[in-house]
Amino acid sequence: MNQRASHSKLPEFGTTKSQTSAILYQEPTLEETKPQHKPLIELAKNFAAGTLLMISIFSFGLLILKGCADDVEHQKAMAVKHQLQFGSGK
């Protein structure tokens, strides 16, 4: 009567093993601590690519604004033409 029914499928573990290893922390070597300098050519390529991207975005924005301004000018011209054709009503 002292037996308990285990409904778990997990095995029973005997002793708890340590999760630490025997390898001690080692300071990084001088080569690992040196800052990694990118070559000048790679920096120039990255700068050129970033500049080209910014110019493209700026140009696209200007193109949209110019199209909107042309549309407004066209609407104004059509309004003046309509007023001249049908009179201002006064």
Residue 73 confidence (pLDDT) above 60: yes
Amino acid at 52: L
**Opening angle at CA 19, ends 15 and 21, nearest 5:** 125
Answer positive or negative: Cα dihedral of 78, 84, 89, 90. positive
Residue 42 confidence (pLDDT) above 80: yes
Task: Please state whether the predicted TM-score (pTM) of the whole model is above 0.95.
Answer: no
CA proximity to 45, closest of 57, 35, 53, 56: 53
Identify the residue with better confidence: 45 or 1.
45
Rounded distance between C-alpha atoms, residue 65 and residue 45, angstroms: 30
Rounded distance between C-alpha atoms, residue 71 and residue 10, angstroms: 74
Q: Using 50, 70 and 90 to split pLDDT, how confident is the model at 5?
A: low
- The residue written with tokens 């390898």 in the block is 23
